[in-house]
Amino acid sequence: MEPGAAVTGSDVSADGLIAELLDMGFDFDDITAAVGAIGPRRAEVLEVLLGGPGPGASAGQAKRGGGAPSRPASSTALPRPAGKGTKSSNPRGRLRQSSITNHISSAAGSRNESGREACASFPCSESPVDHTVPVGVHVCSKLGSELQFSIENTRTDCSYKDKVGAVLQKHFGFSSLKGFQMEVLNAWFAHKDCLVLAATGSGKSLCFQIPALLTTKIVVVISPLISLMHDQCLKLAKHGISACFLGSGQPDSRVEGKAMAGMYKIVYVCPETVLRLMEPLKKLAEKPGIALFAIDEVHCVSKWGHDFRPDYRKLSVLRENFNSSKLKFLKHDIPLMALTATATIPVRDDIVKSLKMLEDTTIVLTSFFRSNLRFSVKHSKTSASSYRKDFQELIGTYNASRKFKGKEQQILHEIDPDSESSSCDSLNDSASDDEDANIDSASRGAKNAGKLKTGMTLVKENTENELDLYPGVDDFDVSCGEFLEALQPESSVFPAQSSETSSSECLELGPTIVYVPTRKETVELANFLCKSGLRAAAYNAKMPKSHLRKVHQQFHCNELEVVVATIAFGMGIDKSNVRRIIHYGFPQSLEAYYQEAGRAGRDGKLSDCTLYCNFLRAPTLLPNKRSEEQTKAAYRMLRDCFHYSLNTSTCRAKILVKYFGEEFGPDRCDMCDVCINGPPQMHDFKEEAIVLMNVLHGRSVSIQGDETEDMICSNVSHYRSGRRRFGEAPNFIMVVSHIREKLPRYAATDRIWWQGLARILEGMGYIQEAAETPRVSIQHPELTEEGLKFLNSRSQQPLYAHPDAAMLLAMNDPRPFSESSEWGRGWADPAIRRQRLAGRKTGRRKRMRRSGQGQHPTGFTTAKERLAAILSKKRKR
Ligand SMILES: Nc1ncnc2c1ncn2[C@@H]1O[C@H](COP(=O)(O)OP(=O)(O)OP(=O)(O)O)[C@@H](O)[C@H]1O
Ligand SMILES: [Mg+2]
């Protein structure tokens, strides 16, 4: 059979058939025995190899009886087809379990040891169960913000339940489906489109994997990353389910033809490939049929989401083309199943609309609350100078565990002479060059990064203050998945926990992921941790693939204690025992934060999610390429993150789940830092609020509330309530300076504190941002109608509120920005500031005069003169 030819199911030559079946992973001896007994009839041979009846059965048994060669440890016995229960296990249909090295080498176009090109596909383990169940189930809810969900599960079809239970037990080893998984399956049985919103790690994949095992039809899964598809295919192979992925990462050109001929139960594709394969998919829909289209990580559809992929939007073609009015052979529209863990209400609406999902789409919404995640936020400069303080505890924990085990600390990454050099190798080099574990400046970090062995590209790109984008679909072969955990469990650096230490209060030892915003920081922090004795590695998109692969592999095998990564270390990480997720610096959105934090504790055990960030500096890092609309959305998302970090009074879990539109039942998690520490004492902010709002309104007041129009600052005198053109609104810095200047009692107050008050008033709806594109912190405040009403009411009521985290910092340390010098402290006083600024100007002029630099090289002294000269030159031209 020619490579690339589609498999049609007709008879083929014996050699071709043997080659094809070998590629599918069947044992050579079993194949030759079956082909010898039956002849080169593909369908029958396949049936025999898959455990069906026929002459091949005896052939296979005979062969085995004759002493089949022993199989590698990674081989997986084929499960028996349903309903064909025999006591002995299937003797013939052994799979060659794909090893990760096969897949990696195949990705690189290399050959495996047997000389055949490794095939990134995963053969089917059983004949599908033909099952068509009449269904009258209605698990429905309205779309959009009035989301409702009927938990009434009316299905009483025992055989259906039994079949699901049998498949679940047989392939996955689980005793029962989770409630939401059952709801999703019910919707699928009812031929309905379904939007599944369930927490990270809750088991969404099973919702589309089970249907593949209940029918003879194929499940097509659309996924955003090849590494994610790859990871899932490996897991399915492990569970004895045939799957493959298609697209640019697929090294074997024949797989696509086989997939379109229905040879794999589950076919993973990226959106681009779906668009290209519309015609073959229509044929597949006719025979053997498509059970459903699952669109995983469906938040990528929405522009309002945190990880927008334009090609996802084009997936509306699925609903437009695969319906019973377009394809006459269909009895029902092929159901769409869209799944995500992070979709706010606007994102959900956008998904349903963009994908043109049906009116009666079922929405299955589970709680986003993860009861085993302990959230906390800590103030930090998040620079190299604070590493020692912030990571002291983490370093102590890992080092203590090793001491306890009597192991010596070791340098971590052995250099593989054959592989591309990696940053970790170099990190170790740096570590041995310099025994001092302290890194206290960015320049030092850059210097260490400069020692990396990996050549200029890596050095330059990894030391830039650049953000990583979410990985593109071509991000192939870096993910290994949990599959590897099973391969090398003995290599774990984490001591086994005794049952006494695994109480809900005690955090077990397990791997940590530290997310940092920039590539440069991945290298710097990993370097620091390595030097402090931890098994740590850096991970960012610009590092060599071989290094990234190694990090994935070591992480999944529990050889690494800490991975310091950008967002590139992302979707598809389904590792059960991650105990800590640390964000060192602000994430780009709360959606991203929750998804990243959700990689902790997937085994249900207590895990920590800690955000270190600078309360005094609003986050500013935005992705490079963005439209105006995206800039606005990016600032809004950063602002939500900033407010989350500054919150001192509401349970963190509550804020997070509320962000996704969920009303949090218990009101508090009793685990996060806010629940544990309790809120700070409330303050009556009325006096300061009136001062601030009066200035915004264009008048100043004394503390008692008497208006003194003569105190009006000329800069803000024109300012009246109501929306106005950007530029007319006063700058917040100006407003605070004005207050400090005019009211001596506020002369030494900090702007950070006033910004906190502005956030409180904004939250109450009394002030708002006047600029078209609101930044993270309010910059051009203006009064709202509500604010004006409050101001005019001259109410005697106090205005109590909890100070936020930045205000508390400013109150506890009255000079958070001005360092410790007297000189710095003096800047808070407007009189001293004016004096100093005046001194600066005259000093500069004097110096220029003395050195004869009074004139610009062009001969003009002022910028205005220079500009006039340039304009006249242009005019002459
Ligand atoms: N019914 C079940 N009983 C027990 N464990 C389950 C069940 N369903 C799924 N799981 C397990 O839950 C884990 C997470 O599953 P999965 O990867 O599907 O999560 P997910 O919801 O897709 O997460 P993410 O949003 O991060 O992609 C897997 O290890 C899976 O084996
Ligand atoms: Mg998933």
Q: What is the ipTM of this complex?
A: 0.99
Tell me which of 182, 205, 513 to substitute to probe ligand 1's pocket, judged by most ligand atoms within 8 Å of the beta carbon: 205
Question: Best-predicted range by mean pLDDT among 226-235, 366-375, 566-575, 787-796?
Answer: 366-375
In this predicted structure, what is the pLDDT of residue 178?
A: 93
Lowest mean pLDDT among 168-177, 392-401, 846-855: 846-855
Q: Residue 128: which residues within 8 A CB-CB, separation 6 or more?
A: 212, 213, 215, 216, 217, 265
In this predicted structure, what is the pLDDT of residue 523?
A: 93
How far does residue 204's CA lie from ligand 1's centre (Å)? 6
Tell me which of 204, 364, 605 to substitute to probe ligand 1's pocket, judged by most ligand atoms within 8 Å of the beta carbon: 204
CA angle 51, 55, 56 (to 5 degrees): 50
> HEC string of 50-67?
CCCCCHHHHHHHHHHHCC
Position in ligand 1 atom list of the atom nearest CA 178: 1
- Strand 194-197 and strand 362-365: pairing? parallel
In this predicted structure, what is the pLDDT of residue 845?
A: 60
Reported as a pLDDT band with limits 50, 70 and 90, residue 846 is low
How far does residue 806's CA lie from ligand 2's centre (Å)? 36
Q: Is the bond into 544 cis (omega within 30 degrees of 0)? A: no
Position in ligand 1 atom list of the atom nearest CA 599: 26
What is the average pLDDT across 723-748? 77
How far does residue 657's CA lie from ligand 2's centre (Å)? 18
Nearest-CA residue for ligand 1 atom 8 is 203
CA distances from 405 to 402, 408, 578 (A): 5, 9, 20
Ligand nearest to the CA of 485: 1
Ligand nearest to the CA of 366: 1
Nearest-CA residue for ligand 1 atom 12 is 203
Tell me the backbone φ, ψ of residue 518, rounded to 5 degrees.
-120, 160
In this predicted structure, what is the pLDDT of residue 425?
A: 30
Structure-token pair, residue 68: 């089949």
Partners of residue 563 on adjacent β-strands: 513, 537
How far does residue 262's CA lie from ligand 1's centre (Å)? 26
Nearest-CA residue for ligand 1 atom 31 is 203
How far does residue 806's CA lie from ligand 1's centre (Å)? 38
How far does residue 73's CA lie from ligand 2's centre (Å)? 28
- 392 or 227: which leads in pLDDT: 392
In this predicted structure, what is the pLDDT of residue 291?
A: 97
Nearest-CA residue for ligand 1 atom 7 is 203
In this predicted structure, what is the pLDDT of residue 346?
A: 87
Question: Chain-wide mean pLDDT for the chain?
Answer: 72
C-beta atoms surrounding 261 within 10 Å: 18
Q: Residue 837: which residues within 8 A CB-CB, separation 6 or more?
A: none
C-beta atoms surrounding 843 within 10 Å: 10
Torsion of CA 347, 350, 352, 353, to 10 degrees: 180
Partners of residue 293 on adjacent β-strands: 220, 336
The DSSP secondary-structure symbol of 168 reads I
> HEC string of 33-55?
HHHHHHCCCHHHHHHHHCCCCCH
Position in ligand 1 atom list of the atom nearest CA 168: 1
Contact between 520 and 504 (Cβ < 8 Å): no
- 124 or 509: which leads in pLDDT: 509
What is the average pLDDT across 550-555? 85
Pocket of ligand 1, beta carbon within 6 A: 174, 177-178, 181, 198, 200-206, 341, 574, 598, 602
Q: Is pLDDT above 80 for 167? A: yes
Tell me the backbone φ, ψ of residue 694, rounded to 5 degrees.
-65, -40
Helix (H) or strand (E) holding 337: strand 336-340
Ligand nearest to the CA of 573: 1
How far does residue 697's CA lie from ligand 1's centre (Å)? 55
Exposure class string for 526-551: b at 16+ Cβ within 10 A, else e: bbbbbbbbbbbbbbbbbbbebbbbbb
> Cα(361)–Cα(352) distance, rounded to whole angstroms?
8
Cα radius of gyration rounded to whole Å, the chain? 32
What is the average pLDDT across 288-302? 94
Contact between 735 and 821 (Cβ < 8 Å): no
Question: How many percent of the chain have pLDDT more than 90?
Answer: 37
Tell me which of 602, 603, 605 to substitute to probe ligand 1's pocket, judged by most ligand atoms within 8 Å of the beta carbon: 602
What is the average pLDDT across 404-412? 42
Question: Best-predicted range by mean pLDDT among 507-511, 523-527, 540-544?
Answer: 523-527
Q: Is the bond into 69 cis (omega within 30 degrees of 0)? A: no
In this predicted structure, what is the pLDDT of residue 385?
A: 94
Nearest-CA residue for ligand 1 atom 28 is 203
Nearest-CA residue for ligand 1 atom 1 is 177
Q: Is pLDDT above 80 for 857? A: no
What is the average pLDDT across 846-872? 59
How far does residue 203's CA lie from ligand 2's centre (Å)? 7
Q: Is pLDDT above 70 for 738? A: yes
How far does residue 260's CA lie from ligand 2's centre (Å)? 24
Reported as a pLDDT band with limits 50, 70 and 90, residue 582 is very high
Contact between 31 and 21 (Cβ < 8 Å): yes
Position in ligand 1 atom list of the atom nearest CA 172: 31
Nearest-CA residue for ligand 1 atom 4 is 174
Q: Residue 473: which residues within 8 A CB-CB, separation 6 or more?
A: 224, 225, 226, 247, 248, 270, 271, 272, 309, 311
Position in ligand 1 atom list of the atom nearest CA 232: 17
Tell me which of 167, 170, 174 to substitute to probe ligand 1's pocket, judged by most ligand atoms within 8 Å of the beta carbon: 174
In this predicted structure, what is the pLDDT of residue 321?
A: 96
Residue whose entry in the numeric block shows the structure tokens 């681009």: 272
Closest by alpha carbon to 84, among 120, 48, 133? 48
CA distances from 866 to 662, 679, 856, 857, 858 (A): 60, 57, 9, 10, 8
> Strand, coil or helix: what is 199?
coil
In this predicted structure, what is the pLDDT of residue 867?
A: 67
Residue whose entry in the numeric block shows the structure tokens 């806010």: 674
Tell me which of 202, 372, 577 to substitute to probe ligand 1's pocket, judged by most ligand atoms within 8 Å of the beta carbon: 202
Nearest-CA residue for ligand 1 atom 22 is 204
- Strand 243-246 and strand 607-613: pairing? unpaired
Lowest mean pLDDT among 160-174, 262-276, 486-500, 820-834: 486-500
> Cα(442)–Cα(19) distance, rounded to whole angstroms?
57
What is the average pLDDT across 341-350? 88
Reported as a pLDDT band with limits 50, 70 and 90, residue 665 is confident
How far does residue 703's CA lie from ligand 2's centre (Å)? 57
List, as ranges, residues with CB under 5 A of the ion ligand 2.
Answer: 204
Helix (H) or strand (E) holding 767: strand 767-769
How far does residue 450's CA lie from ligand 2's centre (Å)? 38
What is the average pLDDT across 362-387? 94
Reported as a pLDDT band with limits 50, 70 and 90, residue 491 is low
> Strand, coil or helix: what is 536?
strand
In this predicted structure, what is the pLDDT of residue 217?
A: 95
The DSSP secondary-structure symbol of 583 reads E
Lowest mean pLDDT among 30-39, 266-275, 587-596: 30-39
CA angle 847, 849, 852 (to 5 degrees): 110
Torsion of CA 353, 357, 359, 360, to 10 degrees: -130
How far does residue 349's CA lie from ligand 1's centre (Å)? 25
> Cα(148)–Cα(362) distance, rounded to whole angstroms?
10
Reported as a pLDDT band with limits 50, 70 and 90, residue 295 is very high
The whole-angstrom distance between residue 610's C-alpha and the CA centroid of its chain comes to 15
Structure-token pair, residue 178: 């989770």
Reported as a pLDDT band with limits 50, 70 and 90, residue 297 is very high
Contact between 573 and 531 (Cβ < 8 Å): no
Reported as a pLDDT band with limits 50, 70 and 90, residue 417 is very low
